[in-house]
Structure 1
Amino acid sequence: MSAVALSSLAGLFAIVTGVNDGGALLATGLKISSIPPLAGVLVMTVMVALVPLLTHQVATTFTTGLASAEGPSGQGVLAVAVLAALAVVAILNNRGLPTSLTLAIVGALTGAGLGWGLPVSGGTVLFVLVVALAAPFVGALLAILVRRWLIHRTHGRMLRQWHRAGFTLQCLAYAANDGQKMPAVFMLALGLYAPPLSVCLIVAVLFGIGALYGLPRAGRTLSRTIIASHPLDGVTAELASGAAVVGCAAIGAPVSMTQTIAGALVGAGTAKGSGRVRWHSATKIALAWTLTLPVSGLLAATAALVIRGVTA
């Protein structure tokens, strides 16, 4: 497959990521007027453009940690993995089960590598899975602690200031971790070992376009169905999820920002009483996450086996 075709596929992946992830980042602060949605998209876009230039440790985990995807075989693995991940996310979203593109691409890269007969690092895959599983629970625990700390120190204008700080931290965490799946796909498509400025700018623009397209439905699930979110809950979730995801980025473990935000919202609700959490909706979302990685991996592995058999 040509570099142009792979780059186009990587561009589509970045746009869909903007649609899927942009709303989650905006969701927690929708009830606070200190950051208008368009300004929020701009902050996200700038972070996505600049942070990978400073650190791309998580992108490297995607490109070399899961499966060896170099040369012509690597190009085939990339194409199969991206298409499988997009297909699984689209199917689950159409069934009312919003899920994580990060889980989908992790599963799909691993499955496609196995199906193509490439070396796959079982230790790295296990490491990524364990951290991904722990991230929502860490977000929930931090949210309980953060909410208790904030409730005695914030009101009125101070809450809006904490919202700006929390949203900025959240965007920084996303760009240092979850968002790096986008430059990683471009790196695989172009055979790069680090994302240059040109790639980071392209990724940011495409992500911004997707986020703008997804604005009308931004946060429809996270901010409305998990809990009846109030401004303090939103700020709590921003600070807690941002801190948790930054910590995961520091050890090079890709985690889903959406999952961690959802965990933080559950924690914020639990701090007010477990009855404040809409457990039916939370369970439905958790089911989608549980299905995403194995289904993406199985679909990608099957497709890779078929294509490899046909082209052999």
Structure 2
Amino acid sequence: MPLDIVVLVVVAGMFAVVSGMNDGGALLATGLKLPSVRPATGIATLVVLIAVIPLLTSKVALTFVTRLATFHDPGGKYAMTIAVVSALVVVLVLSAKGRPTSLTLAIVGGLTGAGLGWGLPVSGSSVLLVLAFGLAAPIAGGLVAWGTTVLLLRTTTSANLPRWHWAGFVLQCVAYAANDGQKMLAVFMIALGFTGAPLPYTALVAGLFGVGALYGLPKAGRTLSREIIVSRPLHGVAAEFSAGATVIACAAVGMPVSMTQAIAGGLIGAGVAAGSGRVRWYAAVKIVVAWLLTLPASMLLAGIVAWVVKGVGP
């Protein structure tokens, strides 16, 4: 097997594990105050859906592979490797500084920067469209969560809330598997040259994600569930429904958006609906600043590295 393929396959596996560390905790965080979905059950549900949902639709994976930049040209696998590594570096550095961010934003920036640095065809209009959806997702999540919170306050009781939690959690997991989670599959698509979503590959991606989620749950979960708002269980359920609905709507048109951003927007919207004093605005601002830094940082890093590597190569 050629060296560029071997390297990219290894990087793709690392990317799936880090995605689990970064995203898995966020997906479970909203319901940590409710005992109805245990962490082990939640991770198992996520792993199954990440393996199965792409068999039905892989639109978002194809957007990563074909609409942002063309990585099938000569040198494309090296450029993809640089894009993924750059995204991981930016996310890990920001996370180490206490600024959790979006791995989806990082990979969009990395793919764009590496494509430009390597001289591959990059679609400016597609990049701008993805960014527009990415910016809209947390806002839409917040608005939907505000309405959902008001509705739940009027119609449900504490005894019924665990059922709503299960429904919201499953919706959120389906949304992640249909959208944000397909960034992992996209890297394997480029590495191994397949199209569609064969079950052995989706199962591999899901398993690696699960390993990362088990490791990263405590830290990622604490950041979203405790820092953004002074939350009640109802707020978490409202955020689940709003994030799931928002991300599924984006998946329907093949636009990758960040589930962690949608969840954060949902938590803020739910907090505002219950009284803006519940929102810890300093924590929300810290997260937004990290989002704003993520894409340009990963784009610049990937672009410079790709340009240098191509220049010194044979």
TM-score range, shorter chain: over 0.9
| C-alpha deviation, 1:4, in angstroms | 2.3
Find 1:208's aligned residue among 207, 210, 228: 210
Find 2:164's aligned residue among 162, 165, 183: 162
1:263 matched to 2:226: no
Q: Is the 8 A contact 2:52 2:202 kept in 1?
A: yes
Relative to the length of structure 1, the TM-score reads 0.98
Looking at structure 2, the residues matched to 67 and 193 of structure 1 have their Cα atoms a distance apart, in angstroms, of 16
Looking at structure 2, the residues matched to 76 and 59 of structure 1 have their Cα atoms a distance apart, in angstroms, of 19
| C-alpha deviation, 1:215, in angstroms | 2.5
Paired residue total: 312
Q: In structure 2, what is the equivalent of residue 129 of structure 1?
A: 131
Find 1:31's aligned residue among 30, 33, 50: 33
Residue 214 of structure 1: SS of its match in structure 2? helix
| C-alpha deviation, 1:237, in angstroms | 0.3
The one-letter code matched in structure 1 to 2:32 is L
| C-alpha deviation, 1:218, in angstroms | 4.1
Task: Kindly provide the CA deviation profile for residues 196-219 of structure 1, in whole angstroms up to 9, marking residues without a partner as x.
Answer: 111001001100111111123241
Residue 2 of structure 1: SS of its match in structure 2? helix
Give unmatched runs, 5+ long, in structure 2: none
Task: Kindly provide the CA deviation profile for residues 234-280 of structure 1, in whole angstroms up to 9, marking residues without a partner as x.
Answer: 00000011000000101111000000000000000011122221110
Residue 95 of structure 2: SS of its match in structure 1? helix
The one-letter code matched in structure 1 to 2:122 is V
1:178 matched to 2:176: no
The one-letter code matched in structure 1 to 2:175 is A
Q: In structure 2, what is the equivalent of residue 82 of structure 1?
A: 84
The one-letter code matched in structure 2 to 1:219 is G
1:11 matched to 2:13: yes
Q: In structure 2, what is the equivalent of residue 293 of structure 1?
A: 295
Query: RMSD over aligned Cα, in angstroms?
Result: 0.9
The one-letter code matched in structure 1 to 2:55 is L
Q: Is the 8 A contact 2:134 2:257 kept in 1?
A: yes
Looking at structure 2, the residues matched to 225 and 165 of structure 1 have their Cα atoms a distance apart, in angstroms, of 24
Q: Is the 8 A contact 2:87 2:110 kept in 1?
A: yes
Residues 156-165 or 216-225, more deviating: 216-225
Residue 98 of structure 2: SS of its match in structure 1? coil
Q: Is the 8 A contact 2:60 2:256 kept in 1?
A: yes
| C-alpha deviation, 1:172, in angstroms | 0.2
Q: Is the 8 A contact 1:26 1:218 kept in 2?
A: no
- 1:134-149 aligned at under 5 Å gives the runs 134-149=136-151
Q: In structure 1, what is the equivalent of residue 275 of structure 2?
A: 273
- 1:56-71 aligned at under 5 Å gives the runs 56-71=58-73
Relative to the length of structure 2, the TM-score reads 0.98
- 1:167-246 aligned at under 5 Å gives the runs 167-246=169-248
Give unmatched runs, 5+ long, in structure 1: none
1:91 matched to 2:93: yes
Looking at structure 1, the residues matched to 4 and 301 of structure 2 have their Cα atoms a distance apart, in angstroms, of 23
The one-letter code matched in structure 1 to 2:137 is A
Residue 113 of structure 2: SS of its match in structure 1? helix
